[in-house]
Each structure stands twice: as structure tokens, then as C-alpha cells.
């Protein structure tokens, strides 16, 4: 019987620094992974932390990590060639098929962009698989922007609105909250639109309120929840919401389900 709690050692292949607090660790991993799934990353003595997959490559998996706690602080002490313990992938992840042939709007706040990055990458590479793809990504300030190179790349094939909440006067890009850009979205057929929205709880709440004003049905909205997934295996209980375990049934939920869930 497989002991799911035992992590495997994985080598750090590349470290991409986005901001002082947020790095992407490109790690060795062989196996099937879907965007939106997560791994438990650990360093013995410091513990485990659930981190979502921010990119998938051949024998590689990316984790964009924000340095905010005991485990992540220690992860930042490691660089290329070092090894971290990982186990996963866990959770359902995003199913690309739900979005093919649709008018896709992907809305992310801060590190909330990470779990959706795989979805964005897919449609940026295969733009004709969707009627249209629009990404609205919000960051606190120009210094907090993640995936800068990606945004440049993506904007060649899909619509990208990268906005910052606060900017110095000379900043010439979009500013304000992501919600500001939702009312102006244009659709050929709003019934064929799909929305994916991931970010801090408060951002998800207001973004969905704004999306609903467009006359969108709940089935057309997806979100992903960040909770304390201690085990990732449906055992430890910390991520339970109502009758759902975020680690098993989520973290990606269609809004028909998500709207029933509360903490």
C-alpha cells in the first residue's frame, strides 16, 4: 500500500525572481499534473505547506511561492541544485475542456494568478481553441507584478489587462482594482462566456458580484479556494467547508457549488 505522506526529494532546476517576496521554483517532477492542482512542499524541521502548481513542463513543475510563513521563509534559502521534499499532485485542478470554444475571462489577484497560469498558457498557445481569451490580473503595485515576461508573451495572442492598485504618477499602465475592468468587457454571446476567478477571498467576492451584473449564470463561473490543506488527503479536516474537502473536491469549484460553501 502506498504511503501518501512520504514526500519525494525534488531538485530545484531554476529560480525565477518576480519580487523580493515571490519566486517561482522550477522543480523536477515526473507524472501527470493539471493546472490548479497543488503539492505539499516541505523541508524537514520546518514543515509542509500546500503550494499550487503555477506551471507544468516536461519533467518539471513550477511553484510560485510567496514568502509569508515558516516553511516558505526556509524555501527561499534554497537555490538551483538544492532539493526540496514534495508530494502530490492533489486536488481536482482546472479542466481545460470546460473552457474550449468559449469566450474566456480569467481574473486573478496577486499570487491568485499562479494556479491559473497553466490555463492562460494553454489558451495563449492555442488561441483558436477559444472564441476569445481575456486575462485581467491585478497586483498591488508595479513592484508586485508576477510573471512579467509571461504577460508580454501572452499579450501577443490573447487580451491582457494587467492592472495595479497603486502606482506612481509616471506609471502608464492600467490602474485600479480588477473589478473596474469587468463592466467594459465585450462579448459576442454572453451565454457562451466563462469566467475563472482566483485571488484573496475579498477579491473573489467583489469580482463575482461584478461578473453577475453582466447577467452571467452561476454555471459559467469557476473559482479556486485557498485553505489550510494540511494533509492534502481528505484526512486532517482543516480545509473542510460544509460537506466538501477543498483538497479532494476542490480547490477548483464551479460557482454553483462554491456559492453554497462557507467557512
Partner 1 sequence: MGYKFSKEEMASIFSKLAVDYDVFAPVVKKGDGTFSDVDVVRYDKVSSLDEIEFEKKSDYSFKEALLPINETIFYFTEDETTVPKGPAKERLVFLRACDLNAVKRLDQIYLKNGFEDFYYKRTREMTKFVLMGCKESCTSGFCVSMGTNTTDEYDLYLKLDGDNAYVEAKDEKLAEAFKSGNEEAVSPDFVSENPTKVTLPKNITPETMKSELFKEYGNRCINCGRCNFVCPTCTCFTMQDIFYKDNEKNGERRRVWASCQVDGYTEIAGGHGFRSDNADRMRFKVMHKIHDFEKRFGYHMCVGCGRCDDVCPEYISYSNLVNCLGKECE
CA-based end-to-end distance of the chain: 33
Residue 246 CB, shortest distance to partner 1, in Å, is 11
Counting residues that bind partner 1 (by CB under 8 A) gives: 44
Contact 92, 250 (CB under 8 A): yes
Residue 187 burial by Cβ neighbours in a 10 Å radius (0-12, 13-18, 19+)? middle
Residue 139 CB, nearest approach to partner 1 (Å) = 16
Query: Cα–Cα distance between 8 and 29 in angstroms, integer?
Result: 9
For residue 236, state whether it binds partner 1 (rule: CB under 8 A).
Answer: yes
Nearest distance, CB of residue 171 and partner 1, angstroms = 26
Query: Can the peptide bond before residue 2 be classed as cis, meaning omega within 30 degrees of 0?
Result: no
Smallest CA-to-CA distance from 10 within 87, 84, 88 is with: 84
Q: How far is the CB of 122 from partner 1 (least distance, A)?
A: 27
Q: How far is Cα 220 from Cα 192, in angstroms, rounded to an integer?
A: 8
Nearest-CA neighbor of 94 among 205, 195, 216?
A: 195
User: Does 205 engage in binding with partner 1 (CB under 8 A)?
Assistant: no
Judge whether 208 and 197 are in contact, CB under 8 Å.
yes
Smaller CB separation from partner 1, 184 or 243: 243
Minimum CB separation from partner 1 for residue 22, in Å? 12
The mark string for 75-104 relative to partner 1 (x by CB under 8 A, - otherwise) is --------x---------------------
Q: Please report, for residues 111, 180, 203, 224, the alpha-carbon distance to residue 107 in angstroms, rounded to integers and kept in the order given.
A: 12, 12, 10, 11
From 101-109, 142-150, 207-215, 235-243, give the range in contact with partner 1 by CB under 8 A: 235-243
210 binds partner 1 (CB under 8 A): no
Q: From residue 239 to residue 258, what is the string marking binding to partner 1 with x (rule CB under 8 A)? A: -x-xxxx-xx----------
Place of cell 526540496: 84
Site for partner 1 in 116-175 (CB under 8 A): none
Q: Does 2 bind partner 1 (CB under 8 A)?
A: yes
Interface contacts to partner 1, rule CB under 8 A: 1-7, 9, 42, 44-49, 66, 68-69, 71-72, 83, 200-201, 226-228, 230-231, 233-238, 240, 242-245, 247-248, 260, 262-263
Amino acid at each position: 500500500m502506498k504511503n501518501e505522506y512520504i514526500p519525494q526529494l525534488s531538485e530545484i532546476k531554476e529560480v525565477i525572481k518576480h519580487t523580493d517576496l515571490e519566486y517561482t521554483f522550477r522543480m523536477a517532477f515526473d507524472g501527470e499534473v493539471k493546472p490548479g492542482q497543488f503539492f505539499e512542499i516541505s523541508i524537514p524541521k520546518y514543515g509542509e505547506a500546500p503550494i499550487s502548481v503555477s506551471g507544468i513542463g516536461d519533467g518539471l513543475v513550477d511553484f510560485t511561492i510567496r514568502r509569508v510563513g515558516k516553511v516558505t521563509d526556509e524555501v527561499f534559502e534554497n537555490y538551483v541544485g538544492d532539493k526540496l521534499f514534495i508530494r502530490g499532485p492533489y486536488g481536482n485542478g482546472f479542466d481545460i475542456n470546460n473552457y474550449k470554444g468559449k469566450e474566456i475571462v480569467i481574473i486573478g489577484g496577486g499570487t491568485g494568478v499562479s494556479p491559473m497560469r497553466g490555463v492562460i498558457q494553454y489558451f495563449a498557445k492555442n488561441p483558436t481553441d477559444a472564441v476569445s481569451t481575456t486575462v485581467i490580473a491585478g497586483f498591488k503595485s508595479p513592484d508586485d507584478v508576477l510573471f512579467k515576461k509571461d504577460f508580454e508573451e501572452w499579450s501577443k495572442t490573447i487580451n491582457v489587462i494587467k492592472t495595479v492598485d497603486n502606482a506612481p504618477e509616471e506609471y502608464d499602465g492600467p490602474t485600479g482594482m480588477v473589478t473596474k475592468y469587468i463592466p467594459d468587457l465585450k462579448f459576442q454571446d454572453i451565454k457562451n462566456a466563462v469566467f475563472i476567478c482566483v485571488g484573496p477571498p475579498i477579491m473573489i467576492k467583489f469580482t463575482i458580484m461584478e461578473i453577475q451584473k453582466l447577467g452571467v449564470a452561476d454555471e459559467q463561473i469557476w473559482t479556486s479556494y485557498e485553505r489550510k490543506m494540511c494533509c492534502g488527503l481528505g484526512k486532517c479536516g482543516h480545509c473542510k467547508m460544509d460537506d466538501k474537502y477543498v483538497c479532494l473536491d476542490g480547490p477548483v469549484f464551479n460557482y454553483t457549488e462554491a456559492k453554497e460553501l462557507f467557512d
